[in-house]
Amino acid sequence: MFQNSLEYAKNQDTNDPLRSFRNQFHLPQDSNGDPLVYLCGNSLGLQPKTTSEYIAEVLDDWARLGVEGHTQARHPWLPYHEFLTENMAAIVGAKPSEVVVMNTLTTNLHLMMVSFYRPTKKKFKIVVESDTFPSDKYAVESQLRFHGIDPKDGLVLWKPREGEELCRFEDLEKIMEEQGEQIALLMIGSTNYYTGQSFPLKRITELGHRHQAKVGFDLAHGAGNIQPDLHNTGADFAVWCTYKYLNGGPGSLGGCFVHQRHGSTRHLVRFAGWWGHNKDTRFNMRHEFDPLPGAEGWQLSNPPILSMAAIRASFDIFAQAGFENIRKKSVRLTGYLEFLLDEMNLSQINVITPRNPEERGCQLSIQVKNSDRELHKKLTQAGVISDWREPDVIRVAPAPLYNSFEDVFLFAQKLKTCLKN
Ligand SMILES: Cc1ncc(COP(=O)(O)O)c(C=O)c1O
């Protein structure tokens, strides 16, 4: 199905319907001005060339209008987050009223747990996948402690079996069978940051709900990568960031999903702020908190418009490309990477990410046995931007909007050379 040659890779690029999008991004370059092989969109996505224009528009409106920009800017700042909503909803498969761009990921995770983790004496445990991202683990543990629960009693780890890297759904089922009565929340990374494993979100949600637990997902490595179809999963909530596959820029805002069945229930406990209050009376002040319906009702503060402008630039590119097309290319691009790694036929290399495209996004986590950080250093010197996770894993993520089949081919060549030397 694939071929191991530069000519083939270039030919794939020529026939790629999304090929023109690469040119819409700034590609980091080496000291000779040649583009680096950038495979790190799982950490920080690249900058669209239009980002500076979108930000310049806000700066210019601010300079010209001062405070009046809230209502008179070309994209007025008062409703600015709404300019992101439709594209955001399309990317994660939600209804527009179910999503909002606000705060940052860990902050949103806390806000969601305030509303959806309501432990009782009997039902108080939280399940996470065992190699969850540290910030998620710290957030979950601190929520347990906040409710007076020792994480030793309240945190349940969904672990891979001895000698395996990936989590099996049947082991989560077993946890629920054995401890379901005590489990209040399943908080799972939709796509695990380390292994690249994407979990079956709908099945997990149904499993959690069967045991009267709430279910939330961290889509940091899923948003803009897999098609999470959030609304149809039935999940209670989800959170993500916009600086990885969504190319919103370093430290940019987070996204949040609240399923529509919760969006209009006013009795849910939440930590509130004025941006979550009814837009019609927000500026009348001195009103009782009147939450907006939908995910918007969880907003706290008036948002950083400059950062939102960068996200808007990126989302407009996603909308032009169409997420179906992006995912379609992604499956082939990562498939090509897998093929080239297999072609190396080296027992030292073990791809720990699932082989089934439906159980992964674009990232492959490549375990290189008996290697250390030196290998990553060599790869970097050879012009590859990837990332290294201790003890012996290189994560590479060909992002379909700006990575090419040639990038993937060059990476495989360079890895081979580095391993030989
Ligand atoms: C899976 C996951 N969760 C949480 C975070 C933390 O995100 P933030 O710093 O935006 O809160 C990250 C950051 O990379 C992440 O990858």
Instruction: Say yes or no: CB of residue 218 within 6 Å of ligand 1.
Output: yes
Number of the ligand 1 atom closest to the C-alpha atom of 189 = 1
Whole-number Å distance, alpha carbon 215 to ligand 1 midpoint, is: 18
pLDDT (0 to 100) of residue 81: 98
pLDDT (0 to 100) of residue 420: 87
pLDDT (0 to 100) of residue 95: 98
Task: Enumerate the H helices of 280-369 as residue ranges.
Answer: 305-321, 323-344
Whole-number Å distance, alpha carbon 304 to ligand 1 midpoint, is: 19
| pTM score of the predicted model | 0.97
Q: What angle do CA 300, 303, 305 make, to 5 degrees?
A: 175
Instruction: Say yes or no: CB of residue 135 within 6 Å of ligand 1.
Output: yes
Number of the ligand 1 atom closest to the C-alpha atom of 244 = 14
Length of the chain counted residue by residue: 421
Whole-number Å distance, alpha carbon 243 to ligand 1 midpoint, is: 10
Instruction: Say yes or no: CB of residue 136 within 6 Å of ligand 1.
Output: yes
Beta strand extents in 131-204 (DSSP E only): 155-158, 183-189
Whole-number Å distance, alpha carbon 248 to ligand 1 midpoint, is: 14
Instruction: Say yes or no: CB of residue 193 within 6 Å of ligand 1.
Output: yes
Instruction: Say yes or no: CB of residue 116 within 6 Å of ligand 1.
Output: no
Record the tokens describing residue 288, joined without a space.
């009782």
Whole-number Å distance, alpha carbon 357 to ligand 1 midpoint, is: 23
CB 169 within 8 A of CB 177: no
pLDDT (0 to 100) of residue 364: 98
- Give mean pLDDT in consecutive 10-residue pieces for the chain, a chain of 421 residues: 97 98 97 95 98 98 98 98 98 98 98 98 97 95 98 98 96 98 97 96 98 98 97 98 98 98 90 94 87 96 98 98 97 98 95 97 96 94 95 96 98 95 78
CA torsion 205-298-267-287 (nearest 10°) is -170
Instruction: Say yes or no: CB of residue 239 within 6 Å of ligand 1.
Output: no
CB 389 within 8 A of CB 365: yes
Whole-number Å distance, alpha carbon 250 to ligand 1 midpoint, is: 12
Number of the ligand 1 atom closest to the C-alpha atom of 132 = 1
